[in-house]
Structure 1
Amino acid sequence: MLRTERHARILEHVSARGAVDVTELSRLLDVSGATVRRDLQHLSRLNLLRRTHGGAMAGGTGPELPVRHRTEHRRAEKQAIARAAAELVPEGAVVGMTGGTTVTEIARVLAARGAVTIVTNAVNIAAELVPHHDVTLVVVGGYARTESYELVGPIAEKTLADHHTDITFLGVDGISATHGCTTHDQLEAATDRAFAASGDRTVVVADHTKIGRATFARICSLTDIDHLVTDRSAPADALARIDATGVAVTVV
């Protein structure tokens, strides 16, 4: 298991349980107690959790897992979602992309395919696309969020209001029939909402952990999106409720 994936699993486990001990994490990750203690010390220095005697507890920046710790986690599922989502992009389309690890995988698929125009507020996606001469890249400016590598806020929203996309890929932290599409940050939610409004078609890409979940800030209702692409581990009951709202659902 890669170190970044191990850190992601630790943070998710701590967030879900509130507090954990070294022995529990050692069994979960199949690594030594010494490795776990080093990991916890590193994550504590980053203010992502709080060390306790014999373990750790939730704390620091809160429940949002920074993108640098999500890159390798569930990557196979995200790549499968990305391949299916990329098939929805017609030739010559202008594509909007918010931040997120699954959306990043879509950018990689489209860049490898050839000529495409991509509008994004994610600096990590922009950095990957710059060397691709066949990609026409438009970067939306704004206030930088260190957790998601996204540029958000009024500048981003104004730019998006003045542009049009044929299809927008929206990364979310939660999607449910009751609460719609949600994320952890209010500024990010408003910018994501502007992305959805700028596109003829809005596609949410989310792995199974996001399905049926709601987080702090509402992006939009399900009436504002057209399609959801997720993986086969998504809860069937939550997907059925989303499908019943009229959103097309693709499971890969």
Structure 2
Amino acid sequence: MLKTERHARILEHVSARGAIDVTELSRLLNVSGATIRRDLQHLSRLNLLRRTHGGAVQGSAGPELPVQHRTERSRPQKQAIARAAARLVPRGAVVGMTGGTTVTEIARVLAARGAVTIVTNAVNIAAETVPHHDVTLVVVGGYARTESYELVGPIAEKTLADHHTDITFLGVDGISAEHGCTTHDQLEAATDRAFAASSDRTVVVADHSKIGRATFARICSLKDVDHLVTDQAAPADALAAITGAGVAVTVV
């Protein structure tokens, strides 16, 4: 397991349970206690958790992991989702892209494929695609979120209202038949909603950990979603409910 993935797993465990000890983390991640203690010290210096005697508790970052700690989590599944999602994009299309590690993988596939116009509010996607001469890049401005590298808020929403995209790839923190698409931040949810409203087709890309889950801020209901692309570890009952709500589902 890569160090970055191990750090993401530690943060997920601490976020889910509020607190965890070194012995349990060592057993869950199959590494030594000394390695776990070094990991906890590193994450504590970043204020992502707070060290305690024998373990750690949740820090000031809250339940949303910063994007750099999510990149390696389930990366093979995200890359498979990205390849399948990219096949939905016609040549020469105008593509909307919110932030998120899975959407970033799609941007890489499309940029390598050839001519495409990308409209995004994610500064990491912009930085990766701007060197590609075949990519026409439109960056939506706004307030920068440290956790997701996204530009959000009224400026972003106004810009999106003045543009049209053929297809938008929406990264979410949760999708379920009951609660629709959700994320952790209210401003991000509103900007994501503006992406969907300006597009002919909205495709949600989400690995199995997001399926059947709901987080704090609602982006949209499933009636605003045309397609979901996920991986085969997604819970079957949640996928069946999403399909029943009228969303086309691709499982890779």
TM-score, with normalisation over the residues of structure 2?
0.99
Per-residue CA distance 1:61-104 (angstroms, 9 max, x = gap): 11001100011110000000000000000111100000000000
Shift of 1:38: 1.2
2:139 counterpart of 1:139: yes
Q: Which residue of 2 aligns with 1:200?
A: 200
Shift of 1:116: 0.3
Per-residue CA distance 1:195-226 (angstroms, 9 max, x = gap): 00010000000000000000000000000110
Q: What secondary structure does 1:28 align onto?
A: helix
Q: Which moved more, 1:51-60 or 1:239-248?
A: 51-60
CA distance in structure 1 between the aligned counterparts of 2:47 and 2:101, rounded to whole angstroms: 22
Q: Which residue of 2 aligns with 1:159?
A: 159
Per-residue CA distance 1:227-246 (angstroms, 9 max, x = gap): 00000000000000000010
Report the residue type matching 2:192 in the other structure.
D
Q: What secondary structure does 2:81 align onto?
A: helix
Shift of 1:29: 1.6
Q: Which residue of 1 aligns with 2:231?
A: 231
Report the residue type matching 2:57 in the other structure.
M
Shift of 1:35: 1.3
Q: Which residue of 2 aligns with 1:41?
A: 41
Shift of 1:9: 0.5
Q: Which residue of 1 aligns with 2:4?
A: 4
Q: What secondary structure does 1:214 align onto?
A: coil
Q: What secondary structure does 1:37 align onto?
A: helix
Q: Which residue of 1 aligns with 2:249?
A: 249
Q: Which residue of 2 aligns with 1:123?
A: 123
CA distance in structure 2 between the aligned counterparts of 1:122 and 1:109, rounded to whole angstroms: 16
Give identity over the alignment, percent.
Answer: 89
Q: What secondary structure does 2:243 align onto?
A: helix
Q: Which residue of 2 aligns with 1:240?
A: 240
Q: Which residue of 1 aligns with 2:63?
A: 63
Report the residue type matching 1:27 in the other structure.
R
Shift of 1:59: 2.8
Q: Which residue of 1 aligns with 2:222?
A: 222
Per-residue CA distance 1:157-202 (angstroms, 9 max, x = gap): 0000000000000000000000000000000000000000010000
C-alpha root-mean-square deviation of aligned residues, in Å? 0.7
CA distance in structure 2 between the aligned counterparts of 1:52 and 1:60, rounded to whole angstroms: 14
Report the residue type matching 1:137 in the other structure.
L
2:195 counterpart of 1:180: no
Shift of 1:44: 1.4
Q: Which residue of 1 aligns with 2:209?
A: 209
CA distance in structure 1 between the aligned counterparts of 2:46 and 2:218, rounded to whole angstroms: 27
Report the residue type matching 1:166 in the other structure.
D
CA distance in structure 1 between the aligned counterparts of 2:180 and 2:59, rounded to whole angstroms: 27
Report the residue type matching 1:224 in the other structure.
D
CA distance in structure 1 between the aligned counterparts of 2:230 and 2:220, rounded to whole angstroms: 18
2:22 counterpart of 1:28: no
Runs of 4+ in 1 over 3 A off after TM superposition: none
CA distance in structure 1 between the aligned counterparts of 2:181 and 2:38, rounded to whole angstroms: 36
Shift of 1:42: 1.4
Report the residue type matching 2:160 in the other structure.
L
Q: Which residue of 2 aligns with 1:77?
A: 77
Shift of 1:17: 2.1
